[in-house]
A and B are shown apart, each in its own frame.
Chain A
Amino acid sequence: MINAHGCCCRFLLKMPGLVFVKESLVSSLPVQSVACTAFMSHFSSTQLVIKTCRKMGIQTVAVHSDVDSSAVHVKMADEAVCVGPAPTGKSYLNMDAIMDAIRSTGAQAVHPGYGFLSENKEFAQRLAAEGVMFVGPDTHAIQAMGDKIQSKLIAKAAGVNTIPGFDGVVKTAEEAVKIAQDIGYPVMIKASAGGGGKGMRIAWNDEETREGFRFSSQEAASSFGDDRLLIEKFIDNPRHIEIQVLADKHGSALWLNERECSIQRRNQKVVEEAPSTFLDPATRRAMGEQAVQLAKAVQYSSAGTVEFLVDSQKNFYFLEMNTRLQVEHPITECITGLDLVQQMIRIAKGYPLQHKQEDIPINGWAIESRVYAEDPYKSFGLPSIGRLSQYQEPLNLSNVRVDSGIQEGSDISIYYDPMISKLVTYGATRAEALAKMEDALDNYVIRGVTHNIPLLREIITHPRFISGDITTNFLPEVYPSGFHGHQLATDSRRELLASAAALYIAAQLRSQRFLLSTIPQERGKWELCVELGKDRHNVEVTRSGNTYTVSLSFSFSLSVEVDAGRVEVSGEWNLASPLLPLTINGTHRMLQCLSREASGEITVQYLGTSFKVRVLSKLAAELDSYMPEKIPEDTSSILRSPMPGTVVAVAVKAGDTVAEGQEICVIEAMKMQNSMTAAKTAKVKSVHCKPGETVGEGDLLVELE
């Protein structure tokens, strides 16, 4: 079985001695007889590294866990080595197995990618001890920047702005509370060793500090094998803007402009763009220069990212430095035209930088959406799993780049991050890049797992986002009661109903097209009733063109009367395709058919969100009122798992009395720990799970009385 989502492979690149002495395509420097081995933690970036290595004439070795043995990157690489079973601690975090793989394949260099061991200094040291080249910064730079406290001290010394109220390592919950009180709430608690938002929580009081301490240390331990924590002042309404730097082993460093990464959920990035709408050239230069100062201060070499928090007054504070390739690096590549992977390999081999600071342009605009296998309707995204029964990337569009490590048939498992792909669009202007992103999201076919495209599409079309008025609190501010999908207005509701009616008619007409049978007379007019939610709409469809044809595809031009409003719909559909391109009142739209049932139930993806409608003939709609209503199961006293995962802890037993909001159990999925709380105060009737058990979405965990 393969696993398939973005975050779990790594691989080795190998270039055999003098056999491959030829010019690498991009650098136009002769590739010497040095072989290298690369590890990447994301399938998607693994492929990027392999592609770049191919261009450079370098052979690659992929390492994988046993569930990933048929993943795309494994097939792409010249060799593949299995380093253990699915749990990351036994495979991708298993340094012994990886060192063995390096030895057995004779790999001479390692590309660390992002995540897992990419910023692990011990790993870098072991590689150095074996004489294997590490495509990344030197051990001491990783060590200096890998430690949040030390990195800030270094940054401060290097003249970089740092966040006020910053303090030290935390060992116990009470110590955490004391530190938090000293800094003053709100504070942020975070794993020292972790990058991004992993293990990061915000606490507004003592109680939350204790809870945050517990979760963050556990998560830190499970993800990084290092449970140290950091507590610092939390800045309200910040923007997260980071600077890409590139430094060589000869003391030169460049800044490759910024990436705006403010759109986050649970402190993990969702939508990124480059450049930022917020920075003026002076601020950009100031940030870039500080980032370069820091890189030079730690004798950094390779690609790195200096993250800043920027407040509304354009004051910026150093957050941390990531000593690896970032997930969102493609947008920087888009606007600068540089291949960062190639630059990293060149630098690792000791070549000086090819470019000067004034050579680094901002050409156009690039947006990246992180497409996750998660349910955006639950806390802006809870992990979902499944098999990708259909998968089609929108690569038919120009200026669209999709970095993914999966393919149709891939399994999204509970073991790793739920990232499906990074969807990058590019345009001469921001508006162009955004329009392209809208198009790309509409054309992206993902079936078999719940995904966050509805949320992504809502974000990039939201007026606040379009105007550039964003902060890291964008999602909770814009959707205070949670995300509920696209909200239909009168016009869009009409369009949706008309499209559904057209789809119904297409299917009805096709179902009469038997070979060697007389075709029944066409109907001039269809009187239908379309149900959306609890509302019913009368829909009358007449042909507005000459005719519709059903042969091989359904091409049509219909005039649809919906609740006394007229909609003109035309298009040409292949009923076997999930994509339904059509023109509604002159506007081109791409809808997707998610399901079509004999009962008239149709689920379509419209403006990113999936809507379920039921199309009935007028007669069936009239008779439908006699149908008995099915009584749904009473769920108030039942706690079900909201996602697939592993039960980490169960805090109650049968007979216990729980208070509303009290923690009942903790489910871990895709390295996120989720606390399940009681919906009401009641006595526990029965417990149906135990720690260590794997549960599926919707599985019964605990029953209350």
Chain B
Amino acid sequence: MVRHSFILFFFIERIRLPLDCRWYSVSHLSVQERIDKKRKAALVGGGQKRIDAQHKRGKLTARERVELLLDPNSFVEYDMFVEHRCSDFGMEQDRNKFPGDSVVTGQGRINGRLVYVFSQDFTVFGGSLSGAHAQKICKIMDQAVMVGAPVIGLNDSGGARIQEGVESLAGYADIFLRNVTASGVVPQISLIMGPCAGGAVYSPALTDFTFMVKDTSYLFITGPDVVKSVTNEDVTQEELGGAKTHTAVSGVAHRAFENDIDALLNLRDFFNFLPLSNKDASPVIECHDPSDRLVPGLDTIVPMESTKAYDMLDIIHGIVDERDFFEIMPNYAKNIVVGFARMNGRTVGIVGNQPKVASGCLDINSSVKGARFVRFCDAFNIPIITFVDVPGFLPGTAQEYGGIIRHGAKLLFAFAEATVPKITIITRKAYGGAYDVMSSKHLRGDMNYAWPTAEVAVMGAKGAVQIIFRGKENQAEAEAEYVEKFANPFPAAVRGFVDDIIEPSTTRKRICRDLEVLASKKQVNPWKKHANIPL
């Protein structure tokens, strides 16, 4: 049956083709020729010489990047024929027109899942942003929001198309607006693979994640020359806005990778953690790691002395599926660890205090780092698992003058506002206000556990005793009494502030089971236009 109709269809095609040719032969041929010519031109961007130059800089071309990022043969390109519309400064000449202009846009698949991509083409006018360039980006962003698929931007642009003047600026703003309206609707990821300077930096800044390529990418508002003339500082491009600066000092970028290929392959890996939109549940991938696996190493990981450090990453790696943890901002505010992992195949966001760095205290940078991550997870239905070992907020003038109060409030706000499943494990210290902040029961934690080593208290024994027994002689005895009373999980457990005291080795099993239960969790905050997080 099927074969029969196929043959029939084939015959009709054969018959119709000559007719078409007879009627439109002249114009058809010339149009076809022009189509082919334009397509061919679009594929080589700024031409072989500039492609070679791009390669020489250790960078791939816009198209090579797209091809590596997406599944083989899955890329569907949009607007290959779009050209810039500038007619000043000789731009209208044919040799200054490039089909597709300085950006490649379209959609494709990463491991079978839909994604919209734009890839700026440095070989065409240095990847500068024209009105047409912006329009192409806006088109795919609009469609991405409409169908509910993430947007990935591969940035490699010298900046605004100066010849176009205000049209270029308008183009930036059009993109910014879409970045903002799409925020929290579909995940947006920027991978900086070359220069990104001036106004252009704000698009990546508005997206959910910004990644960089080491040694070949830069992000700054103004370059070293302007810096020199304004503040008289001598600084190199790399120092001012290289990957190292932004991943370790400024916190602008979330991760850096060795080179283009490493970055794109890692981006594919990262993409697998994300849901496609805020309407999708946290993705579940096939898992080979038993959900009821015990982790015996965790029973001994917390040191006897409560002042001794350990590595929170050891706990995270032990608990998550296949020790696979994609850390976000691993080199910035290292006293808090955030990142994505999976539990029984389902993506979760992990937040953990890092006792190894500054005792795991909360300060300005770690609060902001944690808050932004928590809000991303909440926006995209990703359950949050929080590991708590926090001695409190960092004291000192630097922190107070810097506004630790309002910055710390961000993390508190984010945890309190989140309605996704929230599971909290207190591994050791949960002192003072920081206890409240770290996804406590009081902030609607769904399941809050304490390990036997947990100490939930207003402060450490020494400080507390100095206040309660001020002037009293037998401080050591008082301290021992305090430790006996408070340096254990019971005060919190008897009040129901933790749901259970669990053996550390069973933590994975418990979390996996809870996530199954909480998968159908529904919690709604009161209607509001939007909340007013203390920015």
Chain A interface (Cβ < 8 Å from any Cβ of B): 1-2, 66, 69-70, 387-389, 391, 407-410, 510-520, 550-554, 574-577, 598-600, 616-617, 619-620, 623-624, 626-628, 630
By a CB distance below 8 angstroms, the chain B residues around A617 are 72
Chain B interface (Cβ < 8 Å from any Cβ of A): 55, 58-60, 64, 67-68, 71-72, 109, 111-113, 215-216, 258-262, 265-266, 268-270, 272, 283-290, 295-301, 303-304, 308, 310-311, 314, 317-318, 321-323, 345
Tell me if A409 and B68 are in contact (CB < 8 A).
no
Tell me if A408 and B297 are in contact (CB < 8 A).
yes
Question: 12 extra interchain contacts, Cβ-Cβ under 8 A, other than A576-B321, A599-B258?
Answer: A1-B308, A409-B296, A512-B111, A514-B286, A515-B285, A518-B112, A576-B287, A598-B268, A598-B270, A619-B67, A623-B64, A626-B55
Tell me if A550 and B112 are in contact (CB < 8 A).
no
Taking the closest CB of chain B, its distance from the CB of A85, in whole angstroms, is 11
Assess A389 versus B318: contact at CB under 8 Å? Given A511-B285, A576-B289.
Answer: yes
Assess A626 versus B60: contact at CB under 8 Å? Given A512-B112, A520-B109, A576-B322.
Answer: yes
Taking the closest CB of chain B, its distance from the CB of A624, in whole angstroms, is 6
Tell me if B304 and A623 are in contact (CB < 8 A).
no
Taking the closest CB of chain A, its distance from the CB of B323, in whole angstroms, is 8
Task: Give the distance in Å from the alpha carbon of A402 to the alpha carbon of B523 in the complex.
Answer: 52
Which residue in chain B gives the minimum CB-CB distance to A626?
B55
Tell me if B286 and A550 are in contact (CB < 8 A).
yes
Task: Give the distance in Å from the alpha carbon of A517 to the alpha carbon of B345 in the complex.
Answer: 14
By a CB distance below 8 angstroms, the chain B residues around A519 are 112
**Considering residues B262, B295, B298, which has the most beta carbons from chain A within 10 angstroms of its beta carbon?**
B262
By a CB distance below 8 angstroms, the chain A residues around B261 are 599, 616, 620, 623-624, 627
The 7 closest A-B pairs by CB, nearest first: A409-B297, A628-B58, A598-B269, A576-B289, A513-B286, A520-B112, A515-B284
Tell me if A552 and B288 are in contact (CB < 8 A).
yes
Task: Give the distance in Å from the alpha carbon of A387 to the alpha carbon of B290 in the complex.
Answer: 23
Tell me if A628 and B216 are in contact (CB < 8 A).
yes
Tell me if A551 and B286 are in contact (CB < 8 A).
yes
By a CB distance below 8 angstroms, the chain A residues around B298 are 409
Assess A517 versus B288: contact at CB under 8 Å? Given A1-B304, A623-B68.
Answer: no
By a CB distance below 8 angstroms, the chain A residues around B286 are 510, 513-515, 550-552
- Report whether over half of chain A's contact residues are helix, strand or loop; otherwise say mixed: loop
Taking the closest CB of chain A, its distance from the CB of B319, in whole angstroms, is 12
From A387, A388, A552, A628, contact of B259 by CB (8 A): A628
Which residue in chain B gives the minimum CB-CB distance to A69?
B304
Taking the closest CB of chain A, its distance from the CB of B64, in whole angstroms, is 6
Task: Give the distance in Å from the alpha carbon of A658 to the alpha carbon of B431 in the complex.
Answer: 53
By a CB distance below 8 angstroms, the chain A residues around B285 are 510-511, 513-515
Tell me if A66 and B304 are in contact (CB < 8 A).
yes
Assess A620 versus B265: contact at CB under 8 Å? Given A512-B112, A626-B60.
Answer: yes
Taking the closest CB of chain A, its distance from the CB of B411, in whole angstroms, is 29
Tell me if B296 and A553 are in contact (CB < 8 A).
no
By a CB distance below 8 angstroms, the chain A residues around B59 are 626
Task: Give the distance in Å from the alpha carbon of A511 to the alpha carbon of B111 in the complex.
Answer: 7
By a CB distance below 8 angstroms, the chain B residues around A552 are 286, 288
Task: Give the distance in Å from the alpha carbon of A619 to the alpha carbon of B59 in the complex.
Answer: 15
**Considering residues B64, B286, B290, B345, which has the most beta carbons from chain A within 10 angstroms of its beta carbon?**
B286
Taking the closest CB of chain A, its distance from the CB of B474, in whole angstroms, is 26
Tell me if A626 and B265 are in contact (CB < 8 A).
no
Tell me if A515 and B111 are in contact (CB < 8 A).
no
Task: Give the distance in Å from the alpha carbon of A70 to the alpha carbon of B299 in the complex.
Answer: 9
Taking the closest CB of chain A, its distance from the CB of B231, in whole angstroms, is 31
From A388, A389, A512, contact of B317 by CB (8 A): A389
Assess A409 versus B301: contact at CB under 8 Å? Given A600-B265, A627-B259, A627-B261.
Answer: yes
By a CB distance below 8 angstroms, the chain A residues around B345 are 515
Assess A407 versus B58: contact at CB under 8 Å? Given A515-B283, A515-B345, A620-B265.
Answer: no
By a CB distance below 8 angstroms, the chain A residues around B266 are 598-599
Which residue in chain A gives the minimum CB-CB distance to B71?
A520
Which residue in chain A gives the minimum CB-CB distance to B345?
A515
Tell me if A409 and B300 are in contact (CB < 8 A).
yes
Taking the closest CB of chain A, its distance from the CB of B98, in whole angstroms, is 22
Task: Give the distance in Å from the alpha carbon of A630 to the alpha carbon of B58 in the complex.
Answer: 11
Task: Give the distance in Å from the alpha carbon of A554 to the alpha carbon of B322 in the complex.
Answer: 15
Taking the closest CB of chain B, its distance from the CB of A439, in whole angstroms, is 24
By a CB distance below 8 angstroms, the chain B residues around A510 are 285-286, 288
From A2, A409, A574, A599, contact of B265 by CB (8 A): A599
**Considering residues B55, B268, B314, B323, which has the most beta carbons from chain A within 10 angstroms of its beta carbon?**
B323
Tell me if A630 and B55 are in contact (CB < 8 A).
no
Taking the closest CB of chain A, its distance from the CB of B245, in whole angstroms, is 18
Taking the closest CB of chain B, its distance from the CB of A70, in whole angstroms, is 5
Taking the closest CB of chain B, its distance from the CB of A602, in whole angstroms, is 13
By a CB distance below 8 angstroms, the chain B residues around A518 are 112
Tell me if B322 and A575 are in contact (CB < 8 A).
yes
By a CB distance below 8 angstroms, the chain B residues around A516 are 284
